[in-house]
Structure 1
Amino acid sequence: MTASTPGPTAPTPDPDLLYSEDEDALRAAVRALLTARGDAPTVIAGLETDAPYDSALWRALATDIGAAGLLVPEKLGGQGASAREAAVVLEELGRFVTPVPYLTSGVLAVTALLGCDTAQEDVATLLGALAEGRKVGVLALPLPTAPGAVPEATVRADADGALTGRVTSVADASAADVLVVLAQGPDGPALHAVEAAADGVRTEPVTSLDLTRRLGHLTFEGARGRLLATGDRARAAVERAVLTGAGLLASEQLGVAERCLDETVRYTAERTQFGRPVGSFQALKHRMAALWLEVASARAAARNAADALAGDSPDAAVAVAVAQAYCAPVAVRAAEECVQLHGGIGMTWEHPAHLFLKRAKSDEVALGTPGRHRDALAELAGLSAP
């Protein structure tokens, strides 16, 4: 072989869509916790308070089970797991529409920090705090930000590191202890860690469609932060965080869809009309069978995205685009069917159907709409629009 002849490339391993024993054990632990302490009446009651999330439940999930540190290496105080395990947690959180900042802190903020120099003391210390559940971190980006479309920073950093600017529609902004902020500095983009309670930081709550994942506008007026990364590394860290978040959000959408299907099948098997369970009517059986096929396909797409992210596959961007383009509409359709096939009770505040629908609709625009992901997929596949 001559020097100019390219060598053989290693084949891309086939995706593993099955759940491992460890992943099944993790699912069982999370589901047991949420069944005991995060059932629908508890979630609905929490919506009527000013608390941004269920802090006691978060401590149990983040610290006792160790979910907050799944993506953090063991040497930095985490569990040293992968996106596959994080996806399992998000499936269960989607099933229960749990009001905890796992996606924002345990996935987005952690992934952004992992893209920085983890040997740097500030980065390592913050990662350890997030992994142990002692602090909640939030990546200060608008929730609709899509992979490959991170906007130019709307926050400016002066030569002394003081931040000034505004970021809108940030998920779990009111829950944050630490904000990870992309700012434009004198020498280009830079990533800063800012205490949410610091002088010069103001959080303005927003009335959100999904009250289990609240939004807020962040305003910085000379707030002091700690520099985490600069230049291309800072922007790449944010891009990777958004890609990972979008890919794992598909697993949350899968959890929503599965729970909606399960609840609808259960209810239509119990509800009778003309002396028969309404689920035995052919028209309803066809609707639920069609939904089952969509949910099964969504599971394959979501697992493929999680596996690609876990293995740092070169096709990860494609897998994420496919998963989001498919799973988001399936979750919405499943939630709509859940509301409709529950009849009048599905329209009440006391029934959790509205929680599923609001989470599904909110997730549909989070980290890129299905249309945005289809456009990205076409570009990645070299299929230009007519």
Structure 2
Amino acid sequence: MNFELSEEQAMLRGASRDLLSDRAPIALVRASMDGAEDIDPELWRLTSDLGWPGLALPEEYGGSGQGLVELALVAEEIGRALGRGPFLPTALVGRAIAYGGSERLRGEVLPSLAAGDGWATWAFAEPHAPWTLDEIHATARTDGDEAVLDGVKTVVQDAGGARWLLVTARHVGEPASFLVDRAARGVTVRRQRVLDATRAFHEVRLDAVRVPLDARLDGGPADIQALLDEASVLRCADALGVMERMLELTVEHTTSRVQFGRPIGSFQAVKHACADMALLVHGTRAATYHAAMAADAGTEDAARAACAAASYATAGTGEVAARALQLHGGIGFTWEHDLHLYLRRARADRVLHGDTAVHRDRLCTLLQRSSASA
């Protein structure tokens, strides 16, 4: 598998990094963390002009027709910059609608998403439960030509200002996804206080929320699991960007911090620790982009690749964060140091869309099935 970026992909990465470094520096991220808004409206406008929201949407709906690799490139840069905003959840919902939405949904929603007129987010996880299909307890029952949704969702990114919510609930005995208008009667959204101060997460309550039956996306549990795999790959890309920046901050610190008359980076133990961090970064990069390429190619091992990337990245992110904190000493844990924000983001990325145990358990199951069918 060729991991070299095409000219267009390299341009996308460069343009994304330039935009975030120019319009979303760390000082602006800090200033916006306590704000009531989920997003920076000006940054969302600029990213929309750059084509981020429609990057992976079909061209007939105003998108660019790109794949998961291109989304991962942008996600990596967002992680490096501790970027805020609903790009990733919007991209996921857009892909789900493009694959499984009715003709009405595709025509009404996708052009708005591609243009950045509104954003969407996925309400999947539930309180005190792992990110698995077996733990979906929200319900949807049929009532005439409508579906009635009830349940509670948690850790829903940027739901406060979202125009649409993709809600996963049990319908006719199996998980299904419904597109819900954020302003629908019975939808209540509450901002949550979480460890990661750079992103906005919400609790979403659904009390007898009525949607048309054609708001249900086609496909069954396998399609929802495939979307969850894609979400995990993009979360790995975000974590990769965070890990890269933590490594850079650590190298900068160890080469400038002097002890016993020499930079601490000259000591062998410190060099080994930085080398271990670099290995984890490179391993995460390889696993993440292999999974993204496998998904775009539709290979048989795409699901296994996504699980392998997610399990490796969740474990690696924690190790890189621990090493970075150790080598920075006490200053790395102070609120004033940028590393503190990256540590929080890294901690959140370790559990979003499933922690290490969830992905390793599923990977074992997939390997057993593959062995049994061989």
Q: TM-score, normalised by structure 1?
A: 0.88
SS at match of 1:233: coil
Q: Measure the CA separation in 1 of the matches of 2:198 and 2:134.
A: 25
Aligned residue runs from structure 1 range 1-386, under 5 A: 15-61=1-47, 63-107=48-92, 109-117=93-101, 120-142=103-125, 146=131, 149=133, 151-159=135-143, 160-185=146-171, 190-228=176-214, 230=216, 233-382=219-368
> Which shifted more, 338-347 or 352-361?
338-347
Q: Measure the CA separation in 1 of the matches of 2:32 and 2:323.
A: 25
Cα distance, 1:230 vs. partner?
4.6
SS at match of 2:350: helix
Change (3 A) 1:245 1:378: same
| One-letter amino acid of the structure 2 residue matched with residue 166 of structure 1 | V
Q: Measure the CA separation in 2 of the matches of 1:79 and 1:231.
A: 22
Q: Report percent identity of matched pairs.
A: 35
| One-letter amino acid of the structure 1 residue matched with residue 341 of structure 2 | L
- Cα RMSD of the aligned pairs, angstroms, is 2.3
Cα distance, 1:190 vs. partner?
4.8
Cα distance, 1:234 vs. partner?
5.0
Which runs of no fewer than 5 residues in structure 2 stay unpaired?
A: none
Q: Measure the CA separation in 2 of the matches of 1:215 and 1:163.
A: 21
Change (3 A) 1:45 1:245: same
TM-superposition CA deviations, 1:253-312 (whole Å, max 9, x none): 111111111111112112222332221121111100111112111111111011111111
Report if the CA contact (8 A) 1:145-1:242 is conserved. Answer: no
| One-letter amino acid of the structure 2 residue matched with residue 353 of structure 1 | L
Change (3 A) 1:276 1:231: closer
Which runs of no fewer than 5 residues in structure 1 stay unpaired?
A: 1-14
SS at match of 1:115: helix
Q: Measure the CA separation in 1 of the matches of 2:368 and 2:169.
A: 32
SS at match of 2:35: coil
TM-superposition CA deviations, 1:332-356 (whole Å, max 9, x none): 2222222332233312212221221
Cα distance, 1:161 vs. partner?
3.1
Change (3 A) 1:188 1:278: closer
Report if the CA contact (8 A) 1:145-1:366 is conserved. Answer: no
SS at match of 1:222: strand
Q: TM-score, normalised by structure 2?
A: 0.90
Q: Measure the CA separation in 1 of the matches of 2:171 and 2:307.
A: 31
> Which shifted more, 351-360 or 329-338?
329-338
Change (3 A) 1:298 1:251: same
Q: Measure the CA separation in 2 of the matches of 1:69 and 1:76.
A: 9
Cα distance, 1:174 vs. partner?
1.9
> Which shifted more, 211-220 or 295-304?
211-220
SS at match of 2:149: strand
Q: Measure the CA separation in 2 of the matches of 1:186 and 1:326.
A: 35
Cα distance, 1:93 vs. partner?
0.7
